[in-house]
Structure 1
Amino acid sequence: MFLRRGLVWLQSQVATAARNFLLSVLAAGPIPKHVGFVMDGNRRYARRKHQAVQQGHSEGFVALRRTLEICLRLNIRCVSAYAFSSENFKRSAVEVSALMQLAEEKLVELCNHGDLLNEYGVRLNVVGRTELLPESVQKAIRQAEHLTRHNKRSILNLCMSYTSREEMTLAMETCVRDATAQSYEDSYVVSITRYITEKEINSQLGISLGGSPPLDILVRTSGVKRLSDFMLWQCSEDTQLQFSPAYWPDFGLFDFVPVILDYQRRMMTKRLYA
């Protein structure tokens, strides 16, 4: 028994060392500043494993922590993760309730054992219509955001009760209110042209408000090739879209390495022909 445990420990140490070496090699090349993840496939993963759907979502949070650590070790400054779409409220009450309970548990766990966020100086921003979430989840969000508000090195945008259309609509509404308020001092036409611009709308997006850089890569797992109303504005310029066949709970280092290598090849090609 002692020998077996020793071998398991040794294998773990070797695997960790190999992973860290690979990440250090990758980090020597061009690295994206902002990567977004559509964490798809939790339910299909659970069905494949003959598990309850809730277990698939729980494994999905484990995968998020694993992937976040990989990104932080690569010095990726910002990670955005699609945790819960506003459209998900249409799912069964049992599943939605389980998701809300899981989100609260993980946020509380993050507050009590925030070693990963503190080690890498990660600020947590929860983006979306959080007022639609249960009060207990809102309280956990406020606590987690408060505890990480002084972290400056990295950003984690956790998108909950989010859709890109709502994000853009709210940003536009803010710009219109600003323009209307200024129209008392300026002419209406001047206010509209000054305050309702692409730059102003972009600055009012929920993800932009947290200081996130432009989106370099968007990854969607489970083999589905659509954006599902996630970061549509941010994807519209020069974002690299990547679709992985792995279900999100299975997504790991060797699924992410080809994504980074594709990005590095693209950056090197752009530099070559610049």
Structure 2
Amino acid sequence: MAQTPSSSLDHLSESELTARLDQEVLPKHVAVIMDGNGRWAELRGLPRIAGHREGINSVREMIAQCLELGIRALTIYAFSQENWNRPSQEINALMGLLEHYLSTERDKLIEQQVRFRAVGRLELLPESAQHWVRTTEKETAHLDKMALTVALSYGGRAEIVDAVKGLLRDAASGTVQPDRIDEALFDRYLSTHPLPDPDLLIRTSGETRISNFLLWQLAYTELYFTPTLWPDFRRREFLLALIEYQRRERRFGRVLSTVSS
């Protein structure tokens, strides 16, 4: 069962937590379900969109920290397919916030040498949001210090269905031989290709489910759940997640050690 770290670390400063990290055992790819923005705002008597605005600061900090630590890939769940069922006023505000983020942060991403990509059924986004997504993707396509992938209008099941459709089309045209289909080939049809699968998934706000996010890719990912709401998830919280990750023994179904009798 994925858990948050022991309270025995609460007394440690950020520099002390950083010193505890083993630079050789850091995840290469971190995925995040950024949950709790609306609740953060409601607790403060603010409109829900205020929580999403504050959550952008957490995104900025996490990008900076990944770059500092040499974590090469960060994938964030920004807007799910199910989120289209929210009130239109909130959806419009979120799309506006997306456009504002891309228009104001694009130069910073370029400066940081971060490649931006979006995955999901992007054709459902408003045309103006699609424009900013495609523009940012194009202008950062040559950068390779870190990959920032943003899941928009995304659903894990839908991604698998779309991958199957692509594979069937290629099989029908003779490009792919059915008896050559394996997991590695199927992975090439997923929207996250060529990223490696996430080593660590973080979900904030106390919920303990993956909510249709990266269903194929999370097969062997370490799961970390924290009650911290996303706008409050900053440098210290990320360090605690990484320390907990380093406590795990990742076996991938294998037996790594045996105890002799």
- Which TM-score applies when normalising by structure 2? 0.87
SS across alignment from 1:141: helix
Query: 2:234 maps to which residue?
Result: 252
- Could you tell me whether the CA contact under 8 Å between 2:14 and 2:236 is conserved in 1? no
**Distance in structure 1 (CA, Å) of the matches to 2:237 and 2:43:** 19
In structure 1, runs of 5+ residues without a counterpart are: 1-17, 184-189
Alignment partner, residue 88 of structure 2: 93
**Could you tell me how far 1:215 is from its partner in structure 2?**
1.0
When the two chains are superposed, the root-mean-square deviation of aligned CA atoms in Å is 2.2
Once the 2 structures are TM-superposed, how far is the Cα of residue 271 of structure 1 from its aligned partner?
11
Partner of 1:220: 203
1:141 aligns with 2:133: yes
Aligned residues: 244
- Cα offset, 1:273, TM superposition: 3.3
Distance 1:251 1:271 in 2: 34
Cα separation, 2, equivalents of 1:272 and 1:166: 35
2:178 counterpart residue number: 192
SS of 2:160's equivalent? helix
Question: Residues 157 and 20 (structure 1 numbering): CA distance in 2 closer, same or farther, change over 3 Å?
Answer: farther
Aligned residues of 1:89 and 1:96 also touching (Cα < 8 A): yes
Question: Once the 2 structures are TM-superposed, how far is the Cα of residue 272 of structure 1 from its aligned partner?
Answer: 7.6
The residue number in structure 1 matching 2:223 is 241
> Where do 1:259-270 residues align within 5 Å?
259-266=241-248
Identity of aligned residues (%): 39
Partner of 2:190: 205
Query: Structure 1 or 2: larger helix share?
Result: 1
Instruction: Tell whether the 8 Å contact from 2:116 to 2:147 is kept in structure 1 after alignment.
Output: yes
Ranges in structure 2 where 5+ consecutive residues have no aligned partner: 1-12
Matches within 5 A, 1:118-197: 118-182=110-174, 191-194=177-180, 196-197=181-182
Q: Do 1:27 and 1:74's aligned partners in 2 also have CA atoms closer than 8 Å?
A: no
- Aligned 1:39-78 pairs, distance under 5 A: 39-78=34-73
Distance 2:255 2:45 in 1: 48
Per-residue deviation, 1:23: 4.1
3-state DSSP class of the match of 1:177? helix
Residue 258 of structure 1: CA displacement?
2.1
* Structure number, greater radius of gyration: 1
In structure 1, distance between residues paired with 2:255 and 2:44: 45
Mapped contact 2:20–2:243 kept (Cα < 8 A): no
CA distance in 2, matches of 1:139, 1:28: 38
8 Å Cα contact 1:24-1:74 kept in structure 2: no
Q: Relative contact order, CA 8 A, sep 6+: which one is greater? A: 2
